[in-house]
Structure 1
Amino acid sequence: MPLIALGLNHLTAPVGLREQVAFDADAAGAALRALRGEPGVEEALILSTCNRTELYVGVAAGAEDVPLDWLGRHHRLTPGKLDEFLYRHDEDAAVRHMFRVATGLDSMVLGEPQILGQVKDAYQIAREAQALGAPLDRLLQHTFAVAKRVRTDTRIGAHTVSVAFTAVRLAEQVFTDLKQACVLLVGAGDTIELAARHLADKQVRRLIVANRTLENAQELAGRHGGYAIALHDLPQHLAEADIVISSTASRTPVVTRAMVEKAIATRRRRPMFMVDIAVPRDIEPGVGTLDDVFLYGIDDLRQVIDDNRRSREAAAREAEAIIDLQVERYMAWRRALTLRNPVVDLRQHAEQYRDEVLAKAQAMLARGKSPDEALAFLANTLTNKLLHHPSARLREAALAGDLELLHAAGRLYGRPEGPEVREE
């Protein structure tokens, strides 16, 4: 069963296309069940984040193109629209890609830790959707172990710079003293949680958290000395914000051009700095054309991030070496699944010999032979049949000096020193 990793990310596709193929958490389970129902698809996992959408799929031979066709159809895209933006990895390359993704080596922020949690979330959704088979389930378990080892054995996570930290750092470059700034955070997920921590460390003058579920906003704001509002109250509070950082799971923008125009007028043209780190985007792109508004998207953070990448490149090389070794170990396990079990073959042959000899012994009884004669025939003939081929191979091994086979036979039959081979 071939393993395929298929997807696009921040390096291969613009944000506009990434948001078209993104899967939100609520719909991922249903999407997985639909993908799993495609002809030839044996198992599947969907990983969808602000920077990537990827399918990991085990397919039957001949069904390698099914995941790509399904992805386009599921998102109602024009046939061929994704072709120039997609990457595909097969077998060991797919395994290596998953390991690199989970350890942060394929992230916009080299070594960032958030992606591992997102992979674990994708794994849980796939399990609940009953979309995983043994090979892919084993791969995910192996992936988590590899990621833990990379974190433990290298400095890839030292001084990690997350997307949230980068957004705050960029804001600090615009507003030299964040202690004088009012910051509005839109959303209450992990990314916004990280941003809130960094902003609290900077001692911002005021922190507002807006979220669709007010209780979640209140919980987050309470941990960091902020003020919570419901998402539908956002237009009334937008003008208070010097800085807006948004990351929700909404499929449509939550901050519109009209809302920002009104806020800028209320602010009497005082500048507003906005960072949209959601995919699909939370802030309408047209907001960036307004005077006195400085809008940055997820892809605009790349230059800031690249400045921090070089310090972790040595650790990344160490991580790649660990991954190379673990890819081979997983693939060895996977190859073993396709091998015939010698125990099964041995038992099948023994049962075939048994049935043949038993039938002849029963025929002897039917012809009037004594039970003792029939039993002796059964025992002697069955012993000879079972030992004929092994004995012949061991004699050949002895003549050829094949000590490896002789010692293996000794271990098999419980004689560590090797079998005694005699000429007959």
Structure 2
Amino acid sequence: MTFLALGVNHHTASVELREQIAFNPERLNTVFSETRQHPELADMVVVSTCNRTEIYALTKNTDDVLHWMAQCNGIDVNTLLRHVYHYENVDAMTHLMRVASGLDSLMLGEPQILGQIKNALILAKDAEVVSPHLNRLFEYAFYAAKKVRSETAVGAHAISMGYAVAQLSTQVFSHVSQMTVLIVAAGEMNTLVAKHLAEMGVAKMIICNRTRSKAEHLAQELATRVEVEVIDFDQLENNLYRADVVSSCTGSLHQVISYSAVKRAVKQRKYQPMLMVDLAVPRDIDAKVDDLDSVYLYGVDDLQAVIDDNLSQRRQAALDAEILVSQLASQFVINEKVQRAGHDIQQYRDFAEHQRQKELQLALQQLQQGVDPAELLERLSQRLTNKMLHIPSKLFREAARAEQPEHAQWLNETIQDIHDNMRKTKAR
């Protein structure tokens, strides 16, 4: 069986094509129920995100998987061929490890992809289209991703505005679980900020937006992870003092948070630290706020400089991660060989036991018929030795004929081991 990785991603296909090939969980459940009827397609995991759709499968015919992908999505195979990438066995395993580690992501080192792959595996296992062997390959990829995360800094530095704000909060406040965050405007940028901070486990989120329904919609998204309160926009300045972190991104042409309002809030807070992040252009927060003691003000340019530096550090860390993945792929190959060898050894042991039982029964019958025991033991030992040596002798001859360095080396080392064991036996 070939381990296959086949797919398209943001490097190889347009958004339009990726949308056409994408699978949602409901559709996958239907598709998997159909593939179970086809043994050649009954061992696969489908990873489908906004940036990629990939099929990982154990199959005897890789073309079957390609045609299945085209047929499921109503795409001509030749059209699909211009955009898909195709990896087999150790190359497929290396690719899966790179994807799970965030090394193949649009945002280098992003952690979400690992969770998405785990969910894809769970979905396929629930649909009963994952064999123990395929499951083991994915578990090894998860192990590799964990090592990349723990032993390199590829995911340690913020490279998005939303994540940068969240990371900045941890630098100003030591107890994230006690923080109250005020989100001023519920647009795309602040939505990301709010979600990152909610995932970090802040105590409370206050959302303020000119259109209350939009603020309530974001509040519903966050409510399962954090306590959320929605306030009207005209109550913004009166509630500033409640916030440890303020993130503002309104798109207004005029400042919405004045110096005097922040100064009043600082006094109400008894000069406890306050982090204010202005993601708007033009700016939402009066720049003079930066002069106030205990207030930390960051603008877009400040954060972008941090992100640029962090991205450079991630790229450097990615080199270390790629080396680690390469080493883990080599280890994977060794593990596979050892496992196959263990299976082969067990088969040979079973064969040897069968031959032993067979010869023993024959010898007992002959013994009952009055055959001389000494003669019987001689014949028994000869027959058993010949049968046990037949398969190793055949392998030795094939290795010698192959004329490949690794086979020749294995042959020489094996013969040397045999001679050494013979000398030790004689010495006893």
Quote the Cα distance in structure 2 between the aligned partners of 1:50 and 1:192: 21
Task: Describe the shift of the 1:71–1:305 C-alpha distance in structure 2 as closer, same or farther (beyond 3 A).
Answer: farther
The question of whether the paired residues in 1 share the 8 Å contact of 2:43 and 2:131 is answered with yes
Deviation by residue 1:315-357 (Cα, 9 ceiling, x = unmatched) = 1111111111111222233345555613422442453364256
Deviation by residue 1:1-50 (Cα, 9 ceiling, x = unmatched) = 11110111111111121111111123333333434543523511111111
Quote the Cα distance in structure 2 between the aligned partners of 1:360 and 1:180: 88
Q: Secondary structure at the match of 2:108?
A: coil
Quote the Cα distance in structure 2 between the aligned partners of 1:10 and 1:306: 22
Task: Describe the shift of the 1:166–1:126 C-alpha distance in structure 2 as closer, same or farther (beyond 3 A).
Answer: farther
Quote the Cα distance in structure 1 between the aligned partners of 2:425 and 2:387: 15
* % identity of equivalent residues: 26
Quote the Cα distance in structure 2 between the aligned partners of 1:17 and 1:28: 18
Q: Secondary structure at the match of 1:208?
A: helix
Task: Describe the shift of the 1:385–1:363 C-alpha distance in structure 2 as closer, same or farther (beyond 3 A).
Answer: closer
Partner of 1:133: 131
> How far did residue 145 of structure 1 move?
1.1
Quote the Cα distance in structure 1 between the aligned partners of 2:138 and 2:89: 14
The question of whether the paired residues in 2 share the 8 Å contact of 1:35 and 1:44 is answered with no
Q: Secondary structure at the match of 1:138?
A: helix
For residues 1-40 of structure 1, the aligned pairs below 5 Å read: 1-40=1-40
The yes-or-no answer on 1:355 pairing with 2:337 is no
Partner of 2:345: 342
Deviation by residue 1:164-208 (Cα, 9 ceiling, x = unmatched) = 648999xxxxxxxx989421579x9x998337669x999864372
The question of whether the paired residues in 2 share the 8 Å contact of 1:111 and 1:160 is answered with no
The yes-or-no answer on 1:89 pairing with 2:87 is yes
Of the three residues 114, 120, 127, the one matched with 1:116 is 114
* Structure 1 spans left out of the alignment, 5+ residues: 170-177, 228-240, 244-271, 274-303, 395-399, 411-416
Task: Describe the shift of the 1:355–1:149 C-alpha distance in structure 2 as closer, same or farther (beyond 3 A).
Answer: same
Of the three residues 292, 309, 321, the one matched with 2:311 is 309
The yes-or-no answer on 1:219 pairing with 2:219 is no
Amino acid at match of 2:425: P
Of the three residues 315, 320, 323, the one matched with 2:322 is 320
Partner of 2:425: 419
Task: Describe the shift of the 1:163–1:324 C-alpha distance in structure 2 as closer, same or farther (beyond 3 A).
Answer: farther
Quote the Cα distance in structure 2 between the aligned partners of 1:401 and 1:110: 47
Quote the Cα distance in structure 2 between the aligned partners of 1:209 and 1:77: 41
The question of whether the paired residues in 1 share the 8 Å contact of 2:165 and 2:193 is answered with no
> How far did residue 150 of structure 1 move?
0.9
Partner of 1:57: 57
Task: Calculate the TM-score normalised by the size of structure 2.
Answer: 0.61
Deviation by residue 1:207-255 (Cα, 9 ceiling, x = unmatched) = 72538xx9766435x535458xxxxxxxxxxxxx958xxxxxxxxxxxx
Q: Secondary structure at the match of 1:420?
A: helix
> How far did residue 91 of structure 1 move?
1.2
The yes-or-no answer on 1:381 pairing with 2:379 is yes
For residues 175-186 of structure 1, the aligned pairs below 5 Å read: 181-184=184-187
Q: Secondary structure at the match of 1:159?
A: coil
Amino acid at match of 2:41: V
Deviation by residue 1:372-423 (Cα, 9 ceiling, x = unmatched) = x4665554432343346889999xxxxx99543345x58xxxxxx943379x
The question of whether the paired residues in 1 share the 8 Å contact of 2:352 and 2:388 is answered with no
Count of paired positions: 320
> How far did residue 73 of structure 1 move?
1.2
Moved more, 383-392 or 19-28: 383-392
For residues 268-307 of structure 1, the aligned pairs below 5 Å read: none
Q: Secondary structure at the match of 2:29?
A: helix
> How far did residue 314 of structure 1 move?
1.5
Partner of 2:246: none
Amino acid at match of 2:22: A
Bigger share in helix: 2
Task: Calculate the TM-score normalised by the size of structure 1.
Answer: 0.62
* Structure 2 spans left out of the alignment, 5+ residues: 168-180, 232-248, 252-279, 282-305, 394-412
The question of whether the paired residues in 2 share the 8 Å contact of 1:361 and 1:375 is answered with no
> How far did residue 136 of structure 1 move?
1.6
The yes-or-no answer on 1:405 pairing with 2:418 is yes
Deviation by residue 1:260-301 (Cα, 9 ceiling, x = unmatched) = xxxxxxxxxxxx99xxxxxxxxxxxxxxxxxxxxxxxxxxxx
Partner of 2:159: 161
Task: Describe the shift of the 1:135–1:83 C-alpha distance in structure 2 as closer, same or farther (beyond 3 A).
Answer: same
Partner of 2:215: 208
